């Protein structure tokens, strides 16, 4: 059950923002083998003067931060990075303008399905992929 935040510089229209979210979510769902309804993703836009971008990055710079249940292998994480970059590149975001940050957290750090500790809930899918 990833919780994802996609941060971008303002300037995209509604369709472009939806496409960005769908692209990132699609990559996460496919790579981590999640059910399609497992969606916790949001977009944050920042004015150009509100974000000091890394040197050499364009206004297409996209920061993807994903909080995950701990347990994914380094290989799975690497595949996820590639999948997200592929999906965003197809939308015109250069690979060099994508930064991805994963935060692994123990399942007990998530309260789900009415406030239950996630480590006590049958998720219906494997976390260790």
Alpha carbons 116 and 68: distance in angstroms, whole number: 17
Give the pLDDT confidence score for residue 74 in this predicted structure: 96
Q: In this structure, what CATH number is given to the domain that contains residue 60?
A: 3.30.429.10
Assess if residue 126 is contained within a domain. no
Indicate if the pLDDT at residue 124 is higher than 90.
no
Mean of the per-residue pLDDT values of the chain: 95
Is the pTM higher than 0.85? The answer reads: yes
Per-residue model confidence as pLDDT tens digits over 57-93: 999 999 999 999 999 999 999 999 999 999 999 999 9
- Domain interval for residue 62: 3-120
Total tally of structural domains belonging to the chain: 1
Assess if residue 38 is contained within a domain. yes
Assess if residue 63 is contained within a domain. yes
Alpha carbons 41 and 128: distance in angstroms, whole number: 21
Those residues whose C-beta lies under 8 Å from the C-beta of residue 74, and which sit 6 or more positions away, are none
Those residues whose C-beta lies under 8 Å from the C-beta of residue 70, and which sit 6 or more positions away, are 104, 105, 106, 107, 127
Give the pLDDT confidence score for residue 127 in this predicted structure: 87
């Amino acid at each position: 059950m990833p919780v994802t935040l996609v941060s971008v510089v303002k300037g995209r229209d509604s369709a472009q923002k939806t496409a960005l979210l769908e692209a990132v979510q699609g990559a996460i769902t496919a790579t981590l083998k999640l059910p399609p309804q497992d969606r916790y993703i949001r977009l944050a836009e920042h004015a150009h003067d509100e974000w000091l971008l890394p040197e050499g990055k364009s206004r297409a710079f996209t920061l993807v931060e994903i909080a995950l249940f701990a347990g994914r292998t380094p290989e799975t994480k690497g595949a996820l990075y590639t999948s997200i970059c592929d999906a965003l590149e197809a939308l015109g975001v250069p690979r060099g303008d994508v930064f991805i940050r994963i935060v692994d957290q123990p399942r007990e750090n998530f309260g789900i399905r009415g406030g239950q500790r996630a480590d006590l809930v049958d998720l219906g899918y494997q976390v260790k992929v």
